[in-house]
Structure 1
Amino acid sequence: MPSTEPPVLYTCAGSRGLRATWAAEEAGVAIDLRLLPFPPRFQAPEFLETNPLGTVPMLVDGEAAMTESCAIAHYLASKGGDRSLVVEPDEADYAAYLDFTYHADATITFPQTVYMRFALFEKDKGWGEAGQAYAKWFWKRLVKLEQRLESREYLCADRFTVADICCGYALILARKVGLDEGVPATLKAYRERLTAREGYLRAVEREAAGPAAI
């Protein structure tokens, strides 16, 4: 039987969980937002009882438990009354929608996280050069987004979707962590369109109640 309680989203403000908070706001899905200090595996060790990985975000909806930010964003958007955030299988851009939604974390955010570890969080260990190598890797991986958006306002189906939320977060993160110099102007303009949305602004406001992860 489906749960009658709202899904519980565990996250840290400004982390990849922002994808999920943003998707919930855009879709009009009520969530029980629980903000944790970063990193929760050290700052909130009791969270390990809920998620042994100690990572955020984590969504718990009845018996369902999810830990991948892009999958959670897709899941929440699918539960909303406004399903325009999701591209359906019978739409022409369905394959592109899936591809860019997964591309966001696997290809774009991954080098960002390694850069952050080596160049920011553990820079005193002498790994700064490796961090800068991952910065260059990140910039090179933006070419697919850049080409896709040369003649489009959004990534798929001529409308704003979860793919934009997931890829857009990587561009937002780039600005926060000092990776913006290699972001093309086309993608900076795209980011401005995304961050002007009311759903994004509401999500940021909700997360502002907790300590920032970055």
Structure 2
Amino acid sequence: MPSLTLYTNPQSRGRIAHWMMEELDEPFETIWLDYGTTMKAPDYLAINPMGKVPALRHGDKVVTEAAAICAYLGDRFPEKGLIPPPGSPARADYFRWMFFAAGPLEQAVVARALGWTVPEGRSVMVGFGSYADTMNTLELGLSRGPYVCGEQFTAADVYVGSSLVWGLMFGTIEKRPVFEAYAARMQARPAWQRSARINEARTKPA
């Protein structure tokens, strides 16, 4: 089987992909990159011309964007149970919430963090509509079960869970009981804790 290589930085969205790798429980190599230097070096730009992380190399294929990496690995390793089976009702929830988090939720959170305000009457032009609508929709989705697909933990929870944990930590997602309970379930997972320990160790001064 082709080898897996994750390109990341401990203070980046690469943590999402790293958590996914820990949930996958397959051997992989981690290449740690630094902002402004190795992340912009020619060798890495040949892998991801954006000069951003994460990126995943699987054999001769490269996948970028954290949501795409999570979705790809769930699909590539179905025996791991991180994606609902084809044809199952939960499959629709999986795709819906994975890309809700990658689209409207990401936009709403970044807009709030940077102080961007949608002009009056222009909400139809932005994918998230409004911050309030995005939060209410997410709360409704997470109130239906312990995970976004009901009883089954999936790669979608890695992505949604990462968004919630970091959003609550930095105040870009408002605290609601449903959000805090879901984030706590994600942080209790052994794979999340392993990934957190590894990344935190990389942030400490030598």
* Structure 1 match to 2:72: 75
| Residue 189 of structure 1: how far off its partner (Å) | 0.7
| Residue of 93, 96, 101 corresponding to 1:96 | 93
Mapping 1:61-210, distance limit 5 Å: 61-80=58-77, 82-116=79-113, 118=114, 129-130=115-116, 137-180=130-173, 182-210=174-202
Residue ranges of structure 1 left out of the alignment (5+ in a row): 119-128
Q: 8 Å contact 1:87–1:93 — kept in the other structure?
A: yes
Give CA-to-partner distance per residue, 1:126-157, whole Å, 9 cap, x none: xxx43799xx9445412222112224111104
Higher relative contact order (CA 8 A, sep 6+): 1
| Residue 83 of structure 1: how far off its partner (Å) | 2.2
In the alignment, the residues of structure 1 paired with residue 33 and residue 17 of structure 2 have an alpha-carbon distance, to the nearest angstrom, of 15
**Local SS of the residue matching 1:106:** helix
Residue ranges of structure 2 left out of the alignment (5+ in a row): 120-128
In the alignment, the residues of structure 2 paired with residue 131 and residue 22 of structure 1 have an alpha-carbon distance, to the nearest angstrom, of 32
Residues matched between the structures, number = 193
- In structure 2, the CA distance between the partners of 1:143 and 1:27, relative to structure 1 (3 Å rule), is same
Q: RMSD over aligned Cα, in angstroms?
A: 2.6
* Structure 2 match to 1:124: none
Give CA-to-partner distance per residue, 1:36-76, whole Å, 9 cap, x none: 22xx3x24321324321011111111111111111111222
Q: 8 Å contact 1:51–1:58 — kept in the other structure?
A: yes
| Residue 197 of structure 1: how far off its partner (Å) | 0.6
Q: 8 Å contact 1:17–1:69 — kept in the other structure?
A: yes
In the alignment, the residues of structure 1 paired with residue 106 and residue 154 of structure 2 have an alpha-carbon distance, to the nearest angstrom, of 18
Give CA-to-partner distance per residue, 1:78-120, whole Å, 9 cap, x none: 444752211121212111111111111111122323444x3xx
Q: 8 Å contact 2:6–2:31 — kept in the other structure?
A: yes
Structure 2 letter corresponding to 1:152: G
Structure 2 letter corresponding to 1:174: G
Report the TM-score, using the length of structure 2 for normalisation. 0.81
Worse overlay, 47-56 or 197-206: 47-56
In the alignment, the residues of structure 1 paired with residue 76 and residue 203 of structure 2 have an alpha-carbon distance, to the nearest angstrom, of 28
Q: 8 Å contact 1:20–1:76 — kept in the other structure?
A: no
